[in-house]
């Protein structure tokens, strides 16, 4: 457990599943302003004007000492159509060159398996999806883009990221989907949640 | 009870309370970029400190009052007029029907706030009326105001006193700012962490409610661009591989993959809303303990004019 800023406590965990599980259990308490899971950490924000850091750390340690949940709920598989490369995925050619694969090989590797959503974050509905084929591990762009179109599909650090909204972004873009990932007006605005199962289905056009 | 937008300026949005407790769904805080200035405007018209108000970016804006109403303008230094006559900032203003209010361009600072007695009526999405432009929700149709928009006001349920903000409670505007900040989770990846608190930064042009670029100093960072995405907050300062820092603001995303090398202390977060491209900035280092005790002192100071300021800073 480490300070991550004046009102933040960061807890390292082994993987996204543990992060989600710990965050869920911490969120049962009303003591924190925010409990946010990352891929290998959970960060708690607390009100430093009314709460003591040592006391917060003690409470978190108590929750961590309890056994985690091993619940696995059956999830339907969500099919996400992806138009790979071209204008929809402006970085696909570069990524393939970097990885030494053809675009056809890339698409076969990327769409040929079932994934699970590890994390929803960044912007409303942005889904981090782990389990990418080990051959497809690339890094983020050195300079983030100012404007990534909604529906863009990026990869970085062994993950696929789905940009629900238009906005800035640093992941190389390999394609785009017409699938609506976030709808503020819907009863349930968040279509994908941590644990959702997804497959990518190549389509010729948006 | 309406106003009509005559000229919306560069970007005018309705802002109110931040969204709290939704970052794990990817939903950012939003709310006023400078909540202290917004609270000062609401105070002058007797509203809740976080009642929906207008946030006006850099270029100013103008509107017409359709009925009698009381308003107040705070924040950036700007020349404001009512029907062409100079209007005071930091004072309750009485408007008559057909009065035209013009907020001039910001001379120092970046954002003006206009509060209306009773508060603006606005769309509530995910628990707040604050506009979040990237997803296009809440506030006024989820967007920045346009010419001809008619905004409705709630009727004030209180008598509005004509007030002026005492001089000692008017946040000074400048071109050269200092902000208190502390080390964060990946500060250790910097070759020279002390540079954070020695550098003179210039605010970059590509700065908005999501974040501000800190130019003029390059940092050497040991990073391969493959850091697992981790939670970030307004005030988090990140360092991509190109070594140019950026600081996250109220609309920033909730997780990010660039090293988190510093964090603006809670007590100075409101200042981020007044930084404009070209302004100078220095970070002053504070330990967590000092940032906490100075927050308490700051809240105590401001409570004399803004009871309930703990919700603001």
The CATH number of residue B187's host domain is 2.40.100.10
Residue A103's pLDDT is: 96
Asked if A119 and B229 come within 8 Å (Cβ–Cβ), the reply is yes
Residue A184's pLDDT is: 87
Q: Provide ipTM, 2 decimals.
A: 0.95
Stretch 105-134 of chain B: residues touching chain A, C-beta under 8 Å:
125-126, 134
Local confidence band at B32 (pLDDT 50, 70, 90 cut-offs): very high
Asked if B233 and A168 come within 8 Å (Cβ–Cβ), the reply is no
Residue B226's pLDDT is: 74
Confirm if A157 and A136 have CB atoms less than 8 A apart: no
CA–CA distance, B286 with A141 (Å, rounded to integer): 32
Instruction: Pick the last residue of a domain from B134, B169, B204.
Output: B169
Q: What is the pTM of this model?
A: 0.93
Residue A143's pLDDT is: 81
Q: Are residues B155 and B8 in the same domain?
A: yes
Check pLDDT > 70 for residue B12: yes
How confident is the model over A58-76, as pLDDT tens digits? 999 999 998 877 666 667 8
The total of structural domains in chain B comes to: 2
Chain A residues with beta carbon closer than 8 angstroms to that of B296: 49
Residue A72's pLDDT is: 60
Confirm if B116 and B45 have CB atoms less than 8 A apart: yes
Instruction: Pick the last residue of a domain from B146, B169, B192.
Output: B169
Confirm if A22 and A59 have CB atoms less than 8 A apart: no
Q: For residues A70 and A27, which has the higher predicted lDDT (pLDDT)?
A: A27
Residue A73's pLDDT is: 64
Q: Are residues B204 and B288 in the same domain?
A: yes
Residue B4's pLDDT is: 98
CATH of A77-202 among 3.40.50.2300, 2.102.10.10, 3.90.1200.10, 2.40.100.10: 2.40.100.10
Is residue A137 within 8 angstroms of chain B, CB to CB?
Answer: yes
Q: For residues A170 and B64, which has the higher predicted lDDT (pLDDT)?
A: B64
How confident is the model over B276-303, as pLDDT tens digits? 999 999 999 999 999 999 999 999 999 9
- What distance lies between CA B178 and its chain's CA centroid? 16
Q: What is the 3-state secondary structure (H, E, C) of A20-52?
A: HHHHHHHCCCCCCCEEEECCCEEEEECCCCCCC
Handedness of CA B171, B132, A27, A13 (dihedral sign): negative
Residue A167's pLDDT is: 85
Instruction: Pick the last residue of a domain from B149, B169, B189.
Output: B169
DSSP class of residue A172? P
Average of per-residue pLDDT values in chain B: 96
Residue A195's pLDDT is: 87
Confirm if A4 and A36 have CB atoms less than 8 A apart: no
Asked if A170 and B258 come within 8 Å (Cβ–Cβ), the reply is yes
Is residue A59 within 8 angstroms of chain B, CB to CB?
Answer: no
How confident is the model over A91-142, as pLDDT tens digits? 999 999 999 999 999 999 999 999 999 999 888 989 999 999 999 999 888 8
Residue A121's pLDDT is: 87
Residue B265's pLDDT is: 98
Residue ranges of the domains in chain A?
2-65, 77-202
Residue A157's pLDDT is: 86
Residue A70's pLDDT is: 62
Is residue B136 within 8 angstroms of chain A, CB to CB?
Answer: yes
Residue owning tokens 């490369």: A85
The minimal CB distance from A8 to the residues B125, B229, B263 is found for B263
Q: Are residues B241 and B151 in the same domain?
A: no
Tokens representing B198 are: 């020695």
Q: Are residues B128 and B60 in the same domain?
A: yes
The CATH number given to A2-65 is: 3.30.1360.40
Q: Are residues B9 and B133 in the same domain?
A: yes
Q: Which domain holds residue B201?
A: 176-311
Q: Are residues B11 and B116 in the same domain?
A: yes
């Amino acid at each position: 457990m480490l300070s991550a800023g004046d009102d933040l406590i960061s807890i390292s965990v082994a993987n996204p599943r543990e992060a989600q599980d710990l965050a869920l259990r911490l969120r049962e308490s009303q003591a924190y302003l925010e409990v946010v899971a990352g891929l290998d950490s959970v960060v708690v924000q607390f009100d430093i004007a009314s709460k003591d850091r040592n006391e917060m750390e003690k409470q978190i340690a108590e929750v961590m000492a309890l056994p985690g949940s091993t619940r696995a709920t059956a999830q339907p598989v969500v099919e996400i159509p992806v138009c790979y490369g071209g204008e929809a995925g402006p970085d696909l050619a570069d990524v393939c060159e970097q990885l030494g694969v053809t675009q056809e090989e890339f698409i076969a590797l990327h769409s040929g398996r079932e994934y699970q959503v590890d994390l929803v974050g960044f912007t409303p509905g942005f889904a981090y999806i782990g389990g990418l084929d080990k051959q497809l591990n690339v890094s983020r762009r050195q300079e983030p883009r100012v404007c990534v179109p909604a529906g863009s599909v990026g990869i970085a650090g062994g993950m696929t990221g789905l940009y629900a909204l238009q906005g800035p972004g640093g992941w190389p873009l390999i394609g785009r989907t017409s699938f609506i990932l976030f709808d503020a007006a819907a009863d349930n605005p968040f279509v994908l949640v941590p644990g959702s199962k997804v497959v990518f289905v190549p389509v010729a056009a948006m | 009870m309406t106003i009509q937008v005559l000229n919306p300026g560069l970007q005018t949005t309705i802002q109110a309370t931040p969204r709290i407790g939704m970052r794990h769904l990817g939903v950012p805080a939003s709310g006023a970029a400078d909540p202290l200035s917004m609270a000062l405007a609401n105070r002058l018209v007797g509203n809740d400190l976080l009642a929906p108000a207008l946030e006006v970016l850099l270029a100013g804006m103008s509107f017409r009052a359709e009925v009698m109403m009381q308003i107040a303008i705070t924040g950036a230094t700007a020349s404001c007029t009512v029907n062409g006559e100079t209007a005071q900032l930091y004072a309750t203003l009485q408007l008559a029907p057909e009065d035209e209010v013009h907020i001039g361009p910001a001379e120092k600072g970046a954002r003006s706030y206009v509060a209306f007695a009773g508060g603006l009526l606005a769309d509530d999405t995910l628990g707040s009326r604050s506009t979040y432009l990237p997803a296009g929700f809440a506030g006024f149709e989820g967007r920045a105001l346009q010419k001809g928009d008619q905004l409705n006001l709630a009727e004030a349920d209180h008598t509005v006193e004509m007030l002026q903000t005492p001089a000692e409670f008017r946040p000074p505007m400048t071109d050269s700012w200092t902000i208190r900040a502390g080390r964060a989770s990946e500060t250790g990846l910097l070759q020279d962490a002390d540079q954070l608190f020695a550098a003179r930064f210039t605010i970059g042009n590509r700065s908005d409610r999501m974040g501000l670029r800190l130019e003029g100093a390059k940092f050497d960072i040991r990073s391969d661009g493959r850091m697992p995405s981790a939670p970030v907050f307004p005030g988090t300062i990140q360092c991509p591989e190109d070594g140019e820092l950026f600081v996250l603001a109220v609309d920033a995303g909730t997780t990010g993959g660039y090293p988190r090398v510093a964090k603006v202390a809670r007590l100075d977060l409101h200042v981020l809303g007044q930084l404009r491209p070209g302004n100078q900035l220095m970070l002053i280092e504070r330990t967590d303990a000092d940032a906490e005790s100075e927050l308490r002192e700051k809240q105590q100071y401001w409570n004399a004019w803004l009871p309930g300021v703990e919700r603001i800073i």
